[in-house]
Chains A and B, each alone.
Chain A
Amino acid sequence: GAGVSQSPSNKVTEKGKDVELRCDPISGHTALYWYRQSLGQGLEFLIYFQGNSAPDKSGLPSDRFSAERTGGSVSTLTIQRTQQEDSAVYLCASSEQGGRYGYTFGSGTRLTVV
């Protein structure tokens, strides 16, 4: 597609439920990244995919967070047993060549855990 597409744009969920966030990168971009943006925490790196493998998942905050990428394209970030501190905007970005020349970000998914 023309840009990075994320869905849903907004998600309200009850504490303890599982959620899935989807990212559809720019066609042909081999690298994909997930970030989290929350008040007081700035932009936190979560995980990086090169193709379907994740050479860097150091930013996942707990084992409740997982992500996968299939076909070198769409990625899903799953948060199990959501907690209120998971409330944030989850951003996805994609790039060519692992990001040396810039990354294109999606508009994000605003997750609210109530």
Chain B
Amino acid sequence: GNSVTQMEGPVTLSEEAFLTINCTYTATGYPSLFWYVQYPGEGLQLLLKATKADDKGSNKGFEATYRKETTSFHLEKGSVQVSDSAVYFCALSDRAGGTSYGKLTFGQGTILTVHP
């Protein structure tokens, strides 16, 4: 079946540090890949996405590249801010040979705390 594995957290950084959160996946079909973010007390928001191999998703200074050869979708940001403190979830949606995509499969989430 499908699965998503994220790096263990929590991650604590100083402001302006470089961020990487690793994500690898297992899928049986042709997945779309996503990063979602959950700020304290809020719901899940789509941060970025990539729908095919070698696509790069980007938003708010965050980037992730769909690497089919390594089945990875690592999240990066060059200079984090205190406001980036949140929980980050990697996820996939897999067509699995059909014409419709079904459920999102989520990683376990990574808590990021950025200190001034």
Contacts and interface: CB of A to CB of B under 8 A. Distances in A.
Interface of A: 31, 33, 35, 42-43, 45, 48, 50, 55-56, 59, 91, 93, 97-108
A54 to B, nearest CB: 11
A102 B108 CA distance: 18
A49 to B, nearest CB: 10
A97 B100 CA distance: 7
Interface of B: 32, 34, 36, 42-46, 49, 51, 89, 93, 95, 100-109
A105 B102 contact: no
B87 to A, nearest CB: 10
Q: Is the interface of A mostly helix, strand, loop or mixed?
A: strand
A99 B102 contact: yes
A75 B43 CA distance: 19
A102 B102 CA distance: 11
Contact of A101 (B32, B42, B102): B32
Nearest to B89: A43
A97 B101 contact: yes
B44 A99 contact: no
A56 B102 contact: yes
B37 to A, nearest CB: 11
